[in-house]
Structure 1
């Protein structure tokens, strides 16, 4: 694989460095990417501390606090489908502006919520943005960049999102104090303020980006959701996405911490440090991984990811054999590092494949299918983990995760036989990069 020649060359050419990648981006792509870490820093300030805020600061029952947290994912799942349709009809900009406004209102309201009902309204508003932002921003990115550059963009974007959230979490940890509610009010207001950054981009430098079809295009021209899911490539990719999230991100806030504490018996400090390891590995390795996977079949990359994640779950399972030990602590940290390596393969390939299967007429709906699969895995993953670990079925929990990895391996092979080569990252095609 040689370096990519900008302006009309092979789709699978390799962009050989951050400088070259940056120069290859259209102006709109540079604007969007340059603010990602700053935008997500606000989210990082509040993400690790929301349930602590609800329970320990506002005094809500822990069960109620947990139910309130689940409202984010439930709301996001409920609005994703209609959001995808609206993106295809009115464009991603309009839908994203609505979602961001909802998030700003929700975070501001949550900062002062002293009653569960008020907190519920605030969290629903935040969930609306979660449901709209995934398909909206993915449609925006896919409109701005294409070909191999699109896959690399999704990967770099993922690293920057993790950087922003990670740094935000560290800053938030130093700022908040459960004895001082004003510190929590401050971080939620800061999260709300971070929403004005993408809003300014959408109203300014990105105001001319059009993601929907040409004016007068019939809404059904791109196909209904049923028709989209009847396409074998989309259906199998959606199954891969759901299971990957079920055994991956669906375990990060529930199954993994519970196993690490109850079975591995490591300290909360080790669990917290493991998330820092996750962020560091992603930020440090993402661009190197992008070089390695450029021009290779995305389905093969998914299979390697499944093997890497299987190795990570085996490491975590082994920590249960030596509970409350230095070896267990090292194993928990190693698990998160290996898992993060797998993430660097998943995040560039899946969004790129979805968008290579989409057209301007149905891009919003195709990305909504992707978002729904992700949210479905994120909702069901913790439920399964809770049922298994609450009953002391520790070995069954690890076996379930390994079975999921094996399923991804097989499904990726099936997907490879049904997805067009152009969407699998291997077709020869001309690529024009603006800038």
Structure 2
């Protein structure tokens, strides 16, 4: 498809049948995630009465567990296939959110977060490998972007439902949304065991490399561009989704002083922006350097965090609530730029038989950022350091742009989303 042909109908027509089933998997599983994502730290702090520091630590535990197990998950993805790892990760998520629905003590929450961390270790990166094994070329970048829009559609719809339904004075409402999340995660398991059972997502090692030196994660980090990809993933998680899950809800409740309903609507607005603009962004970015797109995204995110920080001047007012919504809308604009680029670069750069480990490196960096983000947010916000919190995130956005610029000089134009320049004619 050319850049002008990026529509959902044309995209579906170009997809092989397994790709369509995979999209259905995304749509189902994230609906339950949307119910719980904006409210987990609120649930731990205001319903289960854990201190903000402890609640932040519990959120960080998910990333810590994933960080420990992600290298193993990446290796197993290359050996067993991505489909098997998606099944394992989804099963762990079912157990984790099912336990969290009834957890009342720190040890019980810890066990629940351990299983959710197992899912994060293998499930999401393996899902990217499945995508890369089904589609290639420009269609791959489009798939990552559209898949992201569907993820946000499910999260947004779930966020709206959750924001209206949950009540901190009725703990059973939180139990209900976590159980629904568990049920939703059973659907991708069923699809992997049914229509997608023939898609294993595994590539054989080329004969010329079979007897070569053993591939280690350290040797991968020495390959051109890989280390910068890892740094981008780390900072991206810290200033992005790590803070969206932990820092933003805590800031919005404690500093902006808005209601859980406003937080739910903010996530919904985030989704609406992504769903409405993702196709337009895909059309505009086709043929442009993916690293330059990342730099634009970093500037947009910096502006969004500054807007959120300004809500502290109007705490508890309609102005603060409005600015929280504006923050999420602007943040979403940046998301539409990043999600089609980073996974596409990773999977275009990786040899087919090493995609599991390349994606695992990216996932490990993401998990490390997800560990540090809620811990730092919990500490800074509990000690009334909201200005420092925002300043650190803006500085992180500047680092993100710098790493993207460095990456541009280490990867080929094709991996960066533009055609290789034609050679000059001989004179």
Q: Is TM more than 0.5 here?
A: yes
Tell me which residue corresponds to 2:191: 201
Aligned match of 1:351 in 316, 320, 343? Answer: 343
Tell me which residue corresponds to 1:134: 124
Aligned length: 419
Tell me which residue corresponds to 1:223: 215
Which range moved further: 268-277 or 23-32?
268-277
Tell me which residue corresponds to 1:304: 296
Which range moved further: 51-60 or 100-109?
51-60
1:83: how far off?
Answer: 0.2
Matches within 5 A, 1:171-186: 171-176=161-166, 182-186=172-176
Tell me which residue corresponds to 1:9: none
Matches within 5 A, 1:101-250: 101-113=91-103, 116-176=106-166, 182-214=172-204, 218=210, 223-250=215-242
Change (3 A) 1:348 1:267: same
1:348: how far off?
Answer: 0.8
Which range moved further: 39-48 or 91-100?
39-48
How far apart, CA to CA, are the structure 2 residues paired with 1:259 and 1:110? 23
How far apart, CA to CA, are the structure 2 residues paired with 1:169 and 1:103? 19
Aligned match of 2:37 in 28, 42, 47? Answer: 47
Matches within 5 A, 1:29-44: 29-44=19-34
Q: TM-score, normalised by structure 2?
A: 0.88
2:36–2:162: 8 Å Cα contact kept in structure 1?
yes
Task: Describe the SS at the equivalent of 1:424.
Answer: coil
How far apart, CA to CA, are the structure 2 residues paired with 1:155 and 1:148? 11
2:86–2:126: 8 Å Cα contact kept in structure 1?
yes
Change (3 A) 1:317 1:121: closer
Aligned match of 1:73 in 63, 75, 84? Answer: 63
1:310: how far off?
Answer: 2.2
1:369: how far off?
Answer: 0.8
Which range moved further: 365-374 or 96-105?
96-105
1:255: how far off?
Answer: 3.2
1:188: how far off?
Answer: 2.9
Aligned match of 1:415 in 395, 399, 407? Answer: 407
Aligned match of 2:10 in 20, 34, 37? Answer: 20
1:96: how far off?
Answer: 1.7
How far apart, CA to CA, are the structure 1 residues paired with 2:420 and 2:5? 16
Which range moved further: 207-216 or 275-284?
207-216
Tell me which residue corresponds to 2:425: none
The C-alpha deviation readout for 1:83-114, integer Å capped at 9, x for no partner, is: 00000111111122222222223333444445
Structure 1 residues without counterparts, runs of 5 or longer: 5-12, 430-435
1:383: how far off?
Answer: 3.0
Change (3 A) 1:170 1:221: farther
Change (3 A) 1:96 1:326: closer
How far apart, CA to CA, are the structure 1 residues paired with 2:173 and 2:131? 35
Which range moved further: 298-307 or 390-399?
390-399
Aligned match of 2:286 in 286, 290, 294? Answer: 294
Structure 2 residues without counterparts, runs of 5 or longer: 422-427
How far apart, CA to CA, are the structure 1 residues paired with 2:123 and 2:214? 21
Change (3 A) 1:177 1:229: same
How far apart, CA to CA, are the structure 2 residues paired with 1:125 and 1:330? 36
| TM-align CA RMSD | 2.9
1:219: how far off?
Answer: 10
Which range moved further: 158-167 or 315-324?
315-324
How far apart, CA to CA, are the structure 1 residues paired with 2:213 and 2:4? 35
1:234: how far off?
Answer: 1.1
Task: Describe the SS at the equivalent of 2:226.
Answer: helix
Tell me which residue corresponds to 2:74: 84
How far apart, CA to CA, are the structure 1 residues paired with 2:134 and 2:177? 32
The C-alpha deviation readout for 1:284-309, integer Å capped at 9, x for no partner, is: 21121111111211011001111212
**Pair 1:383-2:375 in alignment:** yes
How far apart, CA to CA, are the structure 1 residues paired with 2:91 and 2:346? 27
1:155–1:347: 8 Å Cα contact kept in structure 2?
yes
Q: TM-score, normalised by structure 1?
A: 0.86
